[in-house]
Amino acid sequence: MEKKVCVPRVLKNTAYVLFPIFLTMLILLIFFLTYPLERKSVEERVNYFETTTFAEDYSREIFSAITAINNIKESNGYESYGLYYIREENINGNNNIEKINYYSEYYKTNVVWLIIDNKTKTAYTNLDYSIDTSNIENIQNKIQENATYWIYKDGNIDTSVNKLSSEYIEYIENGFDVENLSDYTIYTSVLNNLEYVDDISMNSILYDVLVLVDQKAAFLIPFLVILIIALVPVIVLGVGRTAKQDGIKLNWYDKILIELAALIAILIAGIGACFTISVNGVSNLATLVLAITIMAFGFFIIYLACILFFETVVKRLKTHTFIKTTIIYWIYIKIKEFLDDVKITKRFILYFIIFIIANLICFAIMWSDGFPGIILSIILYAVVYGLISKRLKSYVKIEKAINDLYQGNTDIELEENEFVKEMKNMASQINDIAGGLSNAIDEKLKSERLKTELITNVSHDIKTPLTSIINYVDLLKKEGMDGEKAKEYLDILDSKSQRLKKLTEDLVEASKASSGAIKLNMEKLNVNELIKQVSGEFEDKFKARKLEEIITFPENALYIKADSRYMYRVLENMYSNISKYAMEGTRVYTDIIEKDGRIVIQLKNVSKQKLNISVDELMQRFVRGEASRNTEGSGLGLSIARSLTELQEGNFNIYLDGDLFKVTIEFNKEN
C-alpha cells in the first residue's frame, strides 16, 4: 500500500529549515547595514588597507610590541605580559648587533616585526627562529616580503600605509610619540595571507562583507522579511498534523502543565547556551572554524528548544487546551473539586467565613486609611449582592420548571449555563426528567400506533391468502377433482399456502430478531466471497428484470466477524428487495469499502416507483417499496435485516435521494 504523505507536515519541516537561515541572513544584513565601521569608505569602495580602522589596528600592534619589549628589558628578560620568548645569542650577526631575541609565541598576530635597540645593540623579533631568520639581514628581508609595511629608521618613516606616513602619524593611538623612538630601528609588516585571527584579520573580513552587501542589503532586507512572515502560517498550519490521523496529534509534552513545559524548554536551551559560551582561545583559522561549529551546535539546540515550546503552545491553542494546562487552572480545578465535594451546608459556612474575613480586612483598612476601606466595603457588598441575586433568580426558574412538570407540561428546556454551579446539576436533572417524560409519552403513543398498525397489517396479510385458499377449496368442491380447472385451482392453493407459510415464518423471524432471541455463531467471514455467493444466486432474477450488477471489490480480501447464516440472510433480503423493486433495465451497484478500520457493504439501485416516504417509515414492518399489496413480499425484509445486523454488532442504514435507494451495512474490520 502506498504510504500517505502529510503535505502540511512536510511544508512545516521545510519551513523550520528555512526559517533560521532567513532570520540569520536578515540579522546579519541589518547588522552589516548599521555597523559603523568605515561607512564612508565602504560606500566609496576603498581598499581596507587604506582605511583608518586598519591604520589604528596596525599602529596598536606596533605600539604593543614596543611596550612589551620595554617591559621585558625592565624585568631582565623574563616573561612579561604573556610574552614567552627564546633568547638566542648572536649567530653570524652583523651591523654590530650583539644578540637577537626571538619571541615566536608572541600572541600569534598578523603583524611581524623586528625592533633594534641601537643603544644596547640588541634585536627583538616575533618571527620563528630558522635558517632563513638567523641574522638581521634575513629577518629584514623576511619582513619586507609582505606588501603592507611600516619602517622607522634614522628618524624617518617608510610605509605603504598612507595614514601611517609622516603626514598622518596622528592616527597612531595609545599615546606613543615617534620622536621618542630615536633609540630604535623598527621594521614591521602585515602578513599577506592574514593567517592568524586578530583584530586586523577580523576587521578585514567584516569590511569585505560590508562592501559586498552594502548595495544588496536595501533590497534583500524587505524580501527576507516577507519570506519570514510567509513561513509563520505554513509552520502553524503544519503543527500537530500527521498522515496517520485527522486532527491534531498530542504527545505527553503537550499534556503536561504549560509552565512545566516552558521549564523543560528553558533547560534544553540552557544546554545549548553552555555550548555557545564555552568558546574561547581563538588564535587561528582552525580554532575559529571549531569555535563557529560549537557555537552553531549550541544555537541549534536552542532553536530546537524554541520549536518544542512553540509547537506545544500552537497545539494547545488548536485543541483549546491551553488554559486548561496552566497551573492557575489546575489550582482552580482542585479548589472547585474540593468545594464540590463539600456539602452545600458546609460550603455555605465556608463562604460565610470568607465574607467575615473580607469584612474584617475592609474595616481594618477603613480604620487605618479611611476612604480606600469604604470603597472596598462597597465593592464587597455589591459582589455579595450580585451573587445572592443570581442564585435567587436560579431558584425561581427551577421552582417554576418543577411546577410546570407537576401540571403535566413536559415542554421544558432550561439553559444550564444560566445557572450557578450549585443549581446547574439540578437544572440538568430537570431537563432530563422533562425530556424523559416527553420521550416516554411519544414512545407510548408510537407503540400504541404501531400495535394498531401491526394488528391491521397482520390481519390483512393473513386474511388475503387465507380467503383465497377458502374460496378455491370451495370451488374445488363444486368443480370436483376431475374438473378441467381443478389443476389450476390446486396451483393457486399451493401458491397461496406457500405465501401464508412464508409470511408466518417472516413473522416468527422478525419477532426473534427484534427480541434478540437468536443464538449467534460468530466467526471470521470473507466479505468478497460472501457477496459473490449471494450475487450468483440472484443472477437469474436480475437478468429476468434486465438488471446489470456492477460489483467493486477491494484489491485484498476483507474480513468481518459475524454469523455466516444470518449475514447471508441479511444480504439475501437486500438482493431480494432489489430484484423486486428496482427499475427494469438499470444498473445495481455493490461496493465493498474499507474506511477507518471499518468494512462498509454498499448497495445502490434506482427504484421503479417514487419513494415518497421517509427512511423511518420504510424501516417499519409491513412497509413495501410500492403501494400495492399484490407483490409476494411481506414488508418485513428491511426490518429483519436491520435487526439481524445490529444483533451481530453491525450498523444498518438506508439513504433515499429521489428515486435512488442506497443501503449500507457496516462492520468492524477483522485482521
Q: What is the pLDDT of residues 427-441, one digit of tens each?
A: 777 776 766 666 666
Q: Quick check: 320 pLDDT over 60?
A: yes
Range with top average pLDDT, 109-113, 216-220, 505-509: 109-113
Q: How confident is the model at residue 393 (pLDDT cuts 50, 70, 90)?
A: confident
Amino acid 85: pLDDT: 41
Q: What is the mean pLDDT of residues 458-487?
A: 65
Transcribe 596-655 into DSSP letters: TTEEEEEEEEEBSS---S-HHHHTSTT--SSS-S-SS--S-HHHHHHHHHHHTT-EEEEE
Amino acid 474: pLDDT: 67
| Residue found by looking up cell 488548536 in the block | 318
Evaluate whether 127 touches 139 at the Cβ level (below 8 Å): yes
Q: Quick check: 503 pLDDT over 70?
A: no
Amino acid 130: pLDDT: 79
More confident residue, 592 or 212: 592
C-alpha 244/C-alpha 3 separation (Å) is 10
More confident residue, 214 or 55: 55
Q: How confident is the model at residue 500 (pLDDT cuts 50, 70, 90)?
A: low
Q: What is the pLDDT of residues 91-129, one digit of tens each?
A: 444 456 777 777 766 557 888 888 888 887 888 888 887
Q: What is the mean pLDDT of residues 324-333?
A: 86
Q: How confident is the model at residue 220 (pLDDT cuts 50, 70, 90)?
A: confident
Amino acid 189: pLDDT: 92
More confident residue, 90 or 421: 421
Averaged pLDDT of the chain: 75
Evaluate whether 190 touches 146 at the Cβ level (below 8 Å): yes
What residues contact 568, with CB distance under 8 A and at least 6 apart?
530, 533, 534
Alpha-helical regions (H) of 239-343: 258-277, 285-318, 327-341
67-71, 558-562, 585-589, 652-656: segment of lowest average pLDDT: 67-71
Range with top average pLDDT, 135-144, 209-218, 511-520: 135-144
Q: Quick check: 620 pLDDT over 60?
A: no
Nearest 5°: the CA angle 290, 291, 297 is: 90
Q: How confident is the model at residue 196 (pLDDT cuts 50, 70, 90)?
A: confident
C-alpha 558/C-alpha 566 separation (Å) is 18
Evaluate whether 341 touches 270 at the Cβ level (below 8 Å): no
Evaluate whether 235 touches 15 at the Cβ level (below 8 Å): yes
Q: Quick check: 198 pLDDT over 50?
A: yes
More confident residue, 80 or 370: 370
Nearest 5°: the CA angle 400, 402, 404 is: 70
C-alpha 222/C-alpha 228 separation (Å) is 10
Nearest to 85 by CA among 61, 70, 69: 69
How many percent of the chain have pLDDT more than 90? 3
Nearest to 640 by CA among 573, 565, 560, 561: 573
Q: What is the mean pLDDT of residues 179-196?
A: 82
Amino acid 10: pLDDT: 85
Which CATH architecture is the domain 519-668 placed in? 2-Layer Sandwich (3.30)
Q: What is the mean pLDDT of residues 387-408?
A: 74
Q: How far apart are the first and last CA of the chain?
A: 16
Nearest to 566 by CA among 641, 619, 657, 627: 641
Amino acid 267: pLDDT: 93
Amino acid 645: pLDDT: 82
Amino acid 79: pLDDT: 45
Amino acid 45: pLDDT: 73
Q: Quick check: 317 pLDDT over 60?
A: yes
Q: What is the mean pLDDT of residues 474-497?
A: 67
Residue 85, classed as helix, strand or coil, is coil
Q: Quick check: 284 pLDDT over 60?
A: no
Q: What is the mean pLDDT of residues 4-15?
A: 82
Q: What is the pLDDT of residues 129-148, one digit of tens each?
A: 777 787 888 888 888 889 89
C-alpha 655/C-alpha 600 separation (Å) is 14
Q: Name the helix (H) or strand (E) containing 550.
A: strand 548-552
How many percent of the chain have pLDDT more than 70? 67
Amino acid 263: pLDDT: 93
Nearest 5°: the CA angle 96, 99, 101 is: 140
Q: Quick check: 174 pLDDT over 80?
A: no
Range with top average pLDDT, 179-188, 449-458, 488-497: 179-188
More confident residue, 406 or 594: 594
Nearest to 576 by CA among 663, 453, 508: 663
Q: Quick check: 78 pLDDT over 60?
A: no
Q: Quick check: 660 pLDDT over 80?
A: yes
| Residue found by looking up cell 444550564 in the block | 416
Amino acid 565: pLDDT: 80
Q: How confident is the model at residue 420 (pLDDT cuts 50, 70, 90)?
A: low
Evaluate whether 174 touches 60 at the Cβ level (below 8 Å): yes
